[in-house]
Structure 1
Amino acid sequence: MSSNKQPSETNGSGPVDPAPRPTRRSFTADYKAAVVAEYEAAPHGEKSAVLRREGLFHSHVQEWTRARNAVAPAGSTNGSAGPSTTARLSRAERETERLRAENARLNAKLAQTQAALSIMGKAHELLASLAESTDTPPPSSR
């Protein structure tokens, strides 16, 4: 037996992954509700301390709050909403946000176009009045 093994091979089983893939964290509904309640109850300067202590990001709390607010009125009768309902709501929310953003973009473009047309109209009037004033013969000095 020779000891000419590659550093990436161990016992002939193939390459070894240098770092294991991280596993995705999952949170229970009770944990999410508790964190959201604590976050909302925290004073302005201490909200980030809650996030640091729990190892969370602001986007987690935003997403959980949005999900709670979307499901609470519809799910108040039986206490839980199925994943399809949550997925449908979030899909509808995403579509609504996309449409609102597109509407805002189009309204801004419309305002810009209207302003440009107004300026063009004023420029046309100015040029027309200048053309009229140059077409008239100057008064005779005799």
Structure 2
Amino acid sequence: MTMTTADVGTDDGVMSPRADQPKRRKFTAEFKAAILAEYDAADRGERGAILRREGLYSSHIIEWRKAAAAGAQAGLAGPPRDRRDKEMQALRARAEKAEAELARTKAALDLVGKAHALLETLSESAEQPPRSRR
């Protein structure tokens, strides 16, 4: 087995694989909000400098904006307060799903009805004998 400097372990001499590997950074909500506010307030040319200064990527900003928007909408709706609120929310979702399915079914029936009428018209015209031109 070949060992590298990254395999050197802890102070007690125990070897651990990749002990010196960088740790994933974790950002607090306050940091994210502050960076988003600073980034949005900055001119287009200054935004890259902010990202470089903090060691961030534009994808961080995109994801943090999505999360902030989702959190804001969830905050507006508010969590269900009790069992009845949860049940009402579930019933509303079920009713919306049923209404959407009903609309699809009505559209399909309308289409089938039009196809039937067209086939009936074609069938009637095929049954009539051709007229002679005399």
Q: Under TM normalisation by the shorter chain, which class is it?
A: 0.3 to 0.5
TM-score, reference length from structure 2: 0.45
TM-score, reference length from structure 1: 0.44
Q: Which has the higher contact order (CA 8 A, sep 6+)?
A: 1
